[in-house]
Amino acid sequence: MTTEPPTSNLHHLRRNQHAYDDLSICVVCQHLLANGEYNDGTTAAETAATGMLKLWGNNALLLIPDGTDLGYRTTTCESCGNTDHGDRYRAALFTPRRKS
Ligand SMILES: [Zn+2]
């Protein structure tokens, strides 16, 4: 049996995770999750929302920003998948454990 890297956060979540408490998310996602909107005159908010659903499916509704500023990072946003470098903020996601 081979172990392949997860193709998305959702795939990884379904496999073996019930909790992520150290996600690094972009400023657009931070605003969307904290305030429900992000208006900069571009389609950034729509692009981020689409990315969230692609990566997390319905579990995107469980993403919780905690407001911690992680500073400038070059890593991919773990909420929407945006690869642009920029400020990152911390977020968490928890799903209920179920009997298998
Ligand atoms: Zn994002």
Sheet holding 63-73, edge to edge: 19-26, 86-94, 63-73
Cβ contact 43:89 at 8 Å: no
Taking the centre of ligand 1 as the mean of its atom positions, its distance from the CA of residue 96, in whole angstroms, is: 24
Domain residue ranges of the chain, discontinuous segments joined by +: 18-94
- Through-space distance between the first and last CA atoms of the chain, rounded to whole angstroms: 22
Distance 3 CA to ligand 1 centre (A): 27
- Ligand 1 mean position, distance from CA 77 (Å): 5
Q: What separation in Å is there between the alpha carbon of 17 and the centre of ligand 1? A: 20
User: How many whole angstroms separate alpha carbon 37 and alpha carbon 45?
Assistant: 7
Query: What is the predicted pLDDT for the residue at 75?
Result: 95
Q: What is the pLDDT of residue 16?
A: 59
| Ranges of the chain with pLDDT below 50 | 1-6
The mean predicted confidence, pLDDT, of the chain is 87
Ligand 1 centre to CA of 100 (Å) is: 32
> Cβ of 26: how many Cβ atoms within 10 Å?
27
Question: Which letter does DSSP use for residue 61 in this model?
Answer: G
Q: What is the model's pTM?
A: 0.82
